[in-house]
Amino acid sequence: MATIIGTGISTKLDSFAAGKEAALNAYYQIGRNGPIAVIAFISTIFDQQETIKGIHSIIKDVPLIGCSSMGSISTYGSKRDSVAVFMLSSNSIEFTIGMGRKISKNSRFAGHKAAKQASDSAHNPKQAYIMLSNSTSGNNTDILRGSQEVLGTSFPIIGGGACNKSCFQKTYQYMGNEIETDSVAGVLLSGDIKLGIGKSSGWQPIGKSHKVTKVKSNIVKEIDKKIAVELYEEYFEKPFMELKNEGICSLGISYPIGTRLDNAKEYLMRVPLAIEENGGL
């Protein structure tokens, strides 16, 4: 049996029905070949528990991971407020999952735990790791470092952060029937598989460059030796309190901060989630 992939999507308003329809559409595409793994992306307009139940009504006990989303991109196009299901059937690929919790307390340990749980369950040569984490808590760089402690710094790791329909509000991560809010879910692909990974960003810098002159953990305190928020005050001609009351996050999504690391050709994009009382981002 070759490796077969099915994708399904639903925009039904009933949460259980949406999960069931998306899973059923993906299931039809793999025919009678039983799925070995499922990845689900669920908009936060849906009741997360009911949607997961709808998916499991089709896939039963097949391993599942996933996270909440604003919308979905699939072979059916781009859709907001949707449930998307990716289903894999193969006799040559092994799919093992793991989860690390409380990333806000110890991101590195959570990343390590998720990767180790997935790795310990694998019985074939490991090929690639996918991780989906809460984007509003913890430190994603530390989550990655924790994963690399298990898999190695040169091992292929890809992934992303869970989203919410509102700007970086509460997000969800899934493993099996579990739904968490402060965690990272990971899946390890092992076996006879060839993978290619690519990345790109369409963002281009505007205006002159700036230098971050003071940081604390993941908080930018100063840019060009000025309070960090002054950069947004200057560019958008909005006072501190207006930016704080409106929420910097929605503005930051459209105008993120791009950081160019040493010798890097691309920019590392960062969206400010909030403004501190002292003007830090």
Number of residues in the chain: 281
- 95 in Cβ contact with 63 (< 8 Å): yes
Q: What is the pLDDT of residues 108-141, one digit of tens each?
A: 999 999 999 999 999 999 999 999 998 778 788 8
Joined tokens for residue 249: 């996050």
Count of C-beta atoms within a 10 Å radius of residue 41: 25
Residues pairing with 73 in the sheet: 78
Amino acid letter for position 16: F
Percentages of the chain per state (helix, strand, coil), in multiples of 5: 25, 35, 40
Residue 215's H or E segment, with its range, is: strand 212-216
Instruction: Tell me whether strands 173-175 and 64-69 are parallel, antiparallel or unpaired.
Output: antiparallel
Tens of pLDDT along the chain (281 residues) come to 588 999 999 999 999 999 999 999 999 999 878 899 999 999 999 999 999 999 999 999 999 999 998 878 888 888 889 999 999 998 889 999 999 999 999 999 999 999 999 999 999 999 999 999 987 787 888 999 999 999 999 999 999 888 776 666 789 999 999 999 999 999 999 998 888 888 877 788 877 888 889 988 778 899 999 998 888 888 888 888 888 777 777 777 778 888 877 777 778 888 887 888 888 88
